[in-house]
Every structure is written in C-alpha cells, then in structure tokens.
Structure 1
Amino acid sequence: MPSNQNPLGALPARFRRQRLLIVGCGDIGLRVARDLHGPAAGRPRVRVLALTSSPERVAPLRALGITPLPGNLDDRATLRR
C-alpha cells in the first residue's frame, strides 16, 4: 500500500474517527473525560464513550458531548449492547 493512502479511508466516516471508551466514569473517569472532551479542549480529536453504572452521570456526560453507555461490569446483562 502506498504510504500516502489512509488504510481507514475506505471505511464509513463514523468508523474512521478514533474512539475512546472510559470504563467506569466515577470521579477520576469523569475528570479524564472532561480533559479529553470538555469545552476547553475544542473540537474533539476522538469520540469519547463512557461506561457508567450511575444514572446521575448520564446527563453531565451528554452535556460534555460524551456518549454515555449505561452498564455495570458486575451485571453481565447490562453489557449486552
């Protein structure tokens, strides 16, 4: 493959953007999410998703432009998605 071709170029745009999954968005996970994707960070370099077992965290994550994924590592049924 020539060096000037992007190996991801043939994929749909939604798959070409890098993604980061934060597993557990408690205090530290939320800080990392804010640093990576908060308003001060400008246009996001990566799509940030966050696994959270706390329903109270869903709205703040969405407000930061982060995709919340409700789930609990101790409950396999919540991880099917």
Structure 2
Amino acid sequence: MRNITLILFIVFLIPILWWFIESIWYEANGYYYAIPGPALTKWYDIFLFKLMWYTMFLGIPAIADIVLLVISIVKIKKEYKKEE
C-alpha cells in the first residue's frame, strides 16, 4: 500500500505542484502561455490548461473536460465584466 501511495504522489502531486508554482511565476514575470485562441495570462488559466493536458495524457478525459469547462467559465465571466 505504501508503494501505491508513493507512485500516486510522484505521478500526480509533484507535477501539479510544479505547474502551480510555474503558473504563478509566469504571471509575476509578465509571461503568458500562448495557445491558439486567447493568450493565457493569469496564473489560474495557465495552471488549469496544463492540468487539462496532463489529465488527458494520463487517460482521464472526464477530469480534463471539467477543467476545460472551468477555464471556459472563467474566460466568459471575464469577457462579460469587460462589456459592462
């Protein structure tokens, strides 16, 4: 049981923690993550985008779809606030 916990920690938590730190660093230094479509400039956009691709790589598309849905909702809310 201890080996399974260690494997899960290495496979899931370490990359997710690294991307969280990297996303904050991107925003703090003025970098952005360029993808087709709108540039991801906020740390949470970058983090969720990387998390989405990681979950798709691991074969967990349901989590990737939920993450993509969260990104879309955040982007739509931002655009709605700009129009007001």
User: Shared fold (TM-score greater than 0.5)?
Assistant: no
User: Could you state the TM-score of these two structures normalised by the residue count of structure 1?
Assistant: 0.29
**TM-score, length-normalised on structure 2?**
0.28
More helix by share: 2
Q: Which has the larger share of strand?
A: 1
